[in-house]
Amino acid sequence: MLILGLFFISIIFRGAIYRSVITYESVSIRNNYNIYNKQLINLIDEEIKDKNNLSEKDIIKIGLKITNKQLNFTASNNDLDPNKLVESKTAHCVGYSYFCASVCNYIFEKQDINDVWVAKPRVGKLFLLGNNIHQYFNSSFFKDHDFVTIENKKTGEIFAIDPSLNDYLYINYVKFR
């Protein structure tokens, strides 16, 4: 019974547990893609139809939702451009980050708050209880991990999200230093 209880607690508090043991650190920022693919534009516009004055947190949720619906994780090399990913539907963490950041930036622009908020795809390192976990892997696939920051240009407030993690564990926010 105790094990079952601990299992349910770990499911319910998975985000808090994850943030307490894993920290993300940025090593570089990737360039953003502009969205021009009509299919992707229609998907986003349909999702935000009749929604005005969305908060940055609403936009983050929508960005993650659209990314999760459109992409499936793969370890294979593939396109990184969200305009192509909407058709190929497979990506690794880099593609997930580009896609989600581009969707969020598109919505920031549609909501006319892109002068305040910007989503940035980032290359990062993951630290487990302060230890860089990438040093334990020899594969180039695990040399780093991509995620997204959503930043307020005026106040410096930053939210960090990991779209590929969110797709599988439904953890919305990650700890960023």
Give the residue, 138 or 146, on which the prediction is more confident: 146
What's the chain's average pLDDT? 93
pLDDT digits (tens, 9 = 90+) for 153-173: 999 999 999 999 999 999 999
pLDDT at 52 (0 to 100): 85
Mean pLDDT over 112-135 rounds to 94
Burial class (CB in 10 A: 0-12, 13-18, 19+), 55: exposed
What is the per-residue pLDDT across 93-103, written as a single tens digit (0 to 9) for each?
999 999 999 99
Q: So what's the pLDDT on residue 141?
A: 67
93-96, Cβ contacts within 8 angstroms, sequence gap of 24 or more: 93/145, 93/146, 93/147, 93/162, 93/163, 93/164, 94/30, 94/121, 94/146, 95/71, 96/67, 96/71, 96/146, 96/163, 96/164, 96/167
Question: Tell me: the pLDDT tens digits for 50-69?
Answer: 888 999 999 999 999 999 99
At residue 133, the pLDDT reads: 87
Q: What is the pLDDT of residue 167?
A: 93
Architecture of domain 2-176: Roll (3.10)
Provide the residue ranges of all domains of the chain, joining segments of one domain with +. Answer: 2-176
Q: Is 59 exposed, middle or buried (0-12, 13-18, 19+ CB in 10 A)?
A: buried
Q: With pLDDT > 70 as the criterion, what percentage of the chain qualifies?
A: 99
